[in-house]
Chains A and B, each alone.
Chain A
Amino acid sequence: MSASALSCQGITKYFPGVVALDAVTMHVGAGTVHAICGENGAGKSTLGRILAGIHQPDAGEMFVDDRAARFASPRDALAAGIAMVHQELAFCDNLTVAENLCLGALPSRRGFLRRDEMRRRATEMLSAIGAVSLDPRRLIGSLSVAEQQLVQIAAAVGSGARIIIFDEPTSSLGSVESTRLFALIADLRARGVTMLYVSHRMAEIFELSDAITVLRDGRHVRTCATHDTDEQRVVHDMIGRSVEQYFPAHLAAAPGEAVLEVRRLSSPGRFHDVAFTLRRGEVLGLAGLVGAGRSEIAQAIFGLDPRAIGSISVRGEPVRIGTPREAMRLGIALVPEDRKRQGLVLAMRGRENVSLPTLPALSRWSWIDRQRERASVLEHTGSLRLSESAMELPAFALSGGNQQKLVMARWLAAHSDVLLLDEPTRGVDVGAKAELHAWIDREAASGKGVLLISSELPELLSLSTRIIVLRDGRVAGELARAGATQERLVRLMAGLAA
């Protein structure tokens, strides 16, 4: 075994109400890519953040090159050669790439900024990782997520980091961008950089890593060389049990009457002339690259796009939907892609989040009937396996999977029968993902119409009755379940000849 570049011994970290890490011990070999995986809430991001000096451990020790290290801040960690590429990208949006890259040590002469020098340094840092096409004068806020990530990596490499921690780097990247990132990681490894790769995406982990550490519930489960293990075993370690392959039950019956018909739906600059019909008892997949207009269409149907024009019929009746409230009344539900920003009020309890849209029905003269509220919430969270005690915790204290279930339960309580699900399993752990899939299938089988937007092609392929592919805001094609393969989807999405 190679010498360890970084190791930790008995790292323990408490957060209000939870033990995030419980005596975790781990060694990372120098010059390797070491994957850290686990379900959401397993503590993998927390471990990364402690190693990068963002959090301080409550107990335990860290060693860099076998020397004891103690970081009071990310600056300390950086001085020891450790940098982190964040899940939530941490830059000043209002400053330029060059300013952000030089922020730690702005070049100046007698107190005045030397802009030319700053730009030169930034260009140098960017070209060191092959990002030559990125203009250092652009504002960070104007960059795509992938570009921002490149800037972060450039900052890490440019500051002389020998150990880089990637926290779920592909969570907001498309497939092309991900591939580019993997090439960069391989290149960095060849240059002797040690990398920690925090993720729960099996395919990436097996493609990239030399060793895998699995965490579960804040505890270390296993570390082994990647070639000594397989996906099944890692998934089993992550969730503590094995997941069965899943065959959707809603396919047993033929789809029923049309519940949502969309014709000539357009919104300037977003999507054009979109038409489809959603029937009861079917899951209609909506595929496309980031920016193809998938979320925008769902939001327009839900009354969130005032510029959208076209015709929409619900249960055969032509309707006009100007606000989410009107959409709700028609039985349409939207589970938005960004649950923290659009789905939940994080400071409110789980119960309060679920009852939010249905509160008037659970009250008399505006007075909330708490018993009815509890009963209603319980009735609709039960089928999602959300515990009663979780309903009284603030939403931010729940795992990603449970947060997503709150948003779903909300619309069950509102008796919606058109479910627009936008990336319903993004950032959700493996166990909860299987439950959400089963739930989606059950809802469709019970006669609801489900529009499923997802960037995960296996998810679309396994759940959908048929799949519509969007490209640049237009319908590029439709695939029946029988004829749909990952390759055909990708070709349609990217506009290649089928």
Chain B
Amino acid sequence: MSTERARSARAVRAIVHSPQAGLLLVLIGLGVVLSIAAGSHADPITGARTNNFLNAHTLIQMATDASGFAIMGVGATIVIISGGIDLSVGAVYALAGVVMAMLLRAVGPLDPALTVLLGLGTCLAVSLVCGLANGAMVIGLGVHPFIITLGTMWMLRGLAFVASRAESILVPGALTGVAKSSLGLGASLYPVPLVAMLAVTALGSVYLTRTVMGRHIFAVGGNPEASRFAGLRVSRVQLGVFVLSSLTAGIAAFLGASFYGSATSSDANGYELYVIASAVVGGASLSGGKGNAISALLGALLIVMIRQAIRTLHLDQNYEWIIIGGAMILAVVFDQRGTKWLTGRMARGDGRATRAADPTTRP
């Protein structure tokens, strides 16, 4: 009993001290406020009262809305940690979706499993090529990634536009079947985007914290010069991050096009900014060397939740952009101040202890 309590106390402490604590608190706080303010309605069939915000349908809908840029947010976080930026992900998304839809239309009906594999493979292949192109240009031309990816953002979307002749192209039902499968939950609940989002975040998080490549990304973002002096192949790391960022756009494109049943060249328009906002709200530093995948997910969720709040609270939808923009600045300021305040308190509280424990080299 007491060990159990100790264990849960330890778990609570781990969460409170984690870098995600502040953001998590904001999310929960906003969720509580929305649940209370939303009111409830009677289910027309069962007659049970259902909260207008806190119900499975709304929550999964929010996760679905967030999944696209949460998945790409993991890629953006990786690029941003390395000290770069990738503005082309929205365009990669559109191009991958369009190419997949055109290819599947061209080959005609296939076995469902084969269709899904071919679709996913196409999205990944297209995004891989885009990522390689971004990375190769950043390294080879020595131009800032902001400029390179700004250029490829327009070029790739233009390519999608020309290739698709601006049509909306339907994708085979087999894909939609997978993306909209209920996974044992009730009908009209579609948890696949949610699951994919969690899986990509978990993979990204493990990649960044537990693998050699992940560590190298932090090193290059923190100090490229020192990384070079430590024998790291800096340009290979830079190439890698753009490939990964593009691949997350490919995954998001596959899910998005499958879920909604079609792909057009205007898909994910402006997503790059949502994606970067997610990473930054999640605490990634644009100067490199800092950030984590889980926080990027929370950042994406926060943005979606603010959008949802506007609907749930019946605020004027015309103010959506103003509210999101303001909230994003607030979130980042709050995060930075909160961290400063916390470390300041810790310094005052444990200053003496820390100094005693500090690397004293004296015998």
Which A residues are closer than 8 A to B by beta carbons? 14-19, 217-218, 240-241, 302, 304, 323-325, 327-328, 334, 336, 341-348, 352, 356-357, 359-360, 363, 366-368, 370, 385-387, 389-390, 393, 397-399, 401-402, 405, 410, 431-432, 435
Which of B213, B228, B229, B347 has the most chain A CB within a 10 Å cutoff?
B229
Which of B216, B360, B361 has the most chain A CB within a 10 Å cutoff?
B361
A359 to B213: give the CA distance in the assembly, Å.
Answer: 9
Q: Which of B306-363 contact A (CB under 8 A)?
A: 343-344, 346-348, 350-352, 354-355, 357-363
With a CB–CB cut-off of 8 A, which chain B residues contact A18? 347, 351, 354-355, 358
3 A-B pairs with the lowest CB-CB distances in the bound complex, closest first: A390-B359, A345-B222, A16-B343
A360 to B211: give the CA distance in the assembly, Å.
Answer: 9
Q: Evaluate whether A345 and B213 lie within 8 angstroms (CB atoms) in the complex, with A356-B219, A435-B361 already known.
A: no
B42 CB → nearest A CB, Å: 53
User: How many cross-chain pairs have Cβ atoms below 8 Å apart between A and B?
Assistant: 127
Q: Which of B225-256 contact A (CB under 8 A)?
A: 225-233
28 residue pairs bridging A and B, Cβ less than 8 Å apart: A16-B346, A16-B347, A17-B343, A19-B351, A302-B229, A323-B231, A324-B229, A324-B231, A334-B229, A336-B229, A342-B226, A342-B229, A343-B226, A345-B222, A346-B223, A347-B218, A347-B289, A356-B219, A363-B212, A366-B211, A367-B210, A385-B363, A387-B359, A387-B361, A393-B358, A397-B358, A401-B361, A435-B361
- Whether the pair A366, B213 counts as a contact (CB closer than 8 A) is yes
A294 to B352: give the CA distance in the assembly, Å.
Answer: 42
Would you call B157 an interface residue if the criterion is a C-beta within 8 Å of the partner chain's C-beta atoms? no
- Whether the pair A328, B231 counts as a contact (CB closer than 8 A) is yes
With a CB–CB cut-off of 8 A, which chain A residues contact B218? 345, 347-348, 352
- Whether the pair B361, A431 counts as a contact (CB closer than 8 A) is yes
Q: Which of B262-294 contact A (CB under 8 A)?
A: 289-290
- Whether the pair A359, B212 counts as a contact (CB closer than 8 A) is yes
Q: Evaluate whether A367 and B219 lie within 8 angstroms (CB atoms) in the complex, with A14-B351, A16-B346, A18-B355 already known.
A: no
With a CB–CB cut-off of 8 A, which chain A residues contact B10? none
- Whether the pair A398, B228 counts as a contact (CB closer than 8 A) is no
A367 to B211: give the CA distance in the assembly, Å.
Answer: 5
- Whether the pair A345, B289 counts as a contact (CB closer than 8 A) is yes
With a CB–CB cut-off of 8 A, which chain A residues contact B359? 386-387, 389-390, 393, 398-399, 402
A324 to B233: give the CA distance in the assembly, Å.
Answer: 9
A224 to B222: give the CA distance in the assembly, Å.
Answer: 43
- Whether the pair B230, A324 counts as a contact (CB closer than 8 A) is yes
A398 to B355: give the CA distance in the assembly, Å.
Answer: 11
- Whether the pair A19, B211 counts as a contact (CB closer than 8 A) is no
- Whether the pair A356, B227 counts as a contact (CB closer than 8 A) is yes
A389 to B353: give the CA distance in the assembly, Å.
Answer: 12
Would you call B215 an interface residue if the criterion is a C-beta within 8 Å of the partner chain's C-beta atoms? yes
With a CB–CB cut-off of 8 A, which chain A residues contact B228? 304, 324
With a CB–CB cut-off of 8 A, which chain A residues contact B352? 19
Q: Which residue of A lies closest to B359 (CB)?
A: A390
- Whether the pair B355, A16 counts as a contact (CB closer than 8 A) is no
A347 to B363: give the CA distance in the assembly, Å.
Answer: 28
Q: Evaluate whether A385 and B361 lie within 8 angstroms (CB atoms) in the complex, with A14-B344, A16-B343, A19-B352 already known.
A: yes
- Whether the pair A17, B346 counts as a contact (CB closer than 8 A) is yes
With a CB–CB cut-off of 8 A, which chain A residues contact B354? 17-18
B263 CB → nearest A CB, Å: 34
- Whether the pair A356, B361 counts as a contact (CB closer than 8 A) is no
- Whether the pair A342, B289 counts as a contact (CB closer than 8 A) is no
Q: Which residue of B lies closest to A325 (CB)?
A: B231
A401 to B359: give the CA distance in the assembly, Å.
Answer: 10
Q: Evaluate whether A359 and B215 lie within 8 angstroms (CB atoms) in the complex, with A16-B343, A389-B359 already known.
A: yes
With a CB–CB cut-off of 8 A, which chain B residues contact A402? 359, 361
With a CB–CB cut-off of 8 A, which chain A residues contact B212? 359-360, 363, 366-368
With a CB–CB cut-off of 8 A, which chain B residues contact A356? 215, 219, 227, 230, 232
Quick one: CB contact mask for B174-218 with A, threshold 8 Å, 1 for yes? 000000000000000000000000000000000000111101101
A217 to B358: give the CA distance in the assembly, Å.
Answer: 11
Which of B211, B355, B359 has the most chain A CB within a 10 Å cutoff?
B359
A294 to B51: give the CA distance in the assembly, Å.
Answer: 73
Q: Which residue of A lies closest to B339 (CB)?
A: A16
B286 CB → nearest A CB, Å: 14
With a CB–CB cut-off of 8 A, which chain A residues contact B357? 387, 389
With a CB–CB cut-off of 8 A, which chain A residues contact B350? 17
- Whether the pair A304, B289 counts as a contact (CB closer than 8 A) is no
Q: Which residue of B lies closest to A241 (CB)?
A: B362
With a CB–CB cut-off of 8 A, which chain B residues contact A346? 222-223
Which of B213, B219, B343, B361 is within 8 Å of A348, CB to CB? B219
- Whether the pair B361, A347 counts as a contact (CB closer than 8 A) is no
Which of B227, B344, B362 is within 8 Å of A345, CB to CB? B227
- Whether the pair B226, A345 counts as a contact (CB closer than 8 A) is yes
A336 to B223: give the CA distance in the assembly, Å.
Answer: 14
A304 to B229: give the CA distance in the assembly, Å.
Answer: 8
A328 to B289: give the CA distance in the assembly, Å.
Answer: 24
- Whether the pair B361, A217 counts as a contact (CB closer than 8 A) is no
- Whether the pair A432, B361 counts as a contact (CB closer than 8 A) is yes
Q: Which residue of A lies closest to B350 (CB)?
A: A17
Q: Which residue of A lies closest to B340 (CB)?
A: A16
With a CB–CB cut-off of 8 A, which chain A residues contact B232? 325, 356-357
- Whether the pair B347, A341 counts as a contact (CB closer than 8 A) is no
Q: Which residue of B lies closest to A369 (CB)?
A: B210
With a CB–CB cut-off of 8 A, which chain A residues contact B230? 324, 356-357, 410
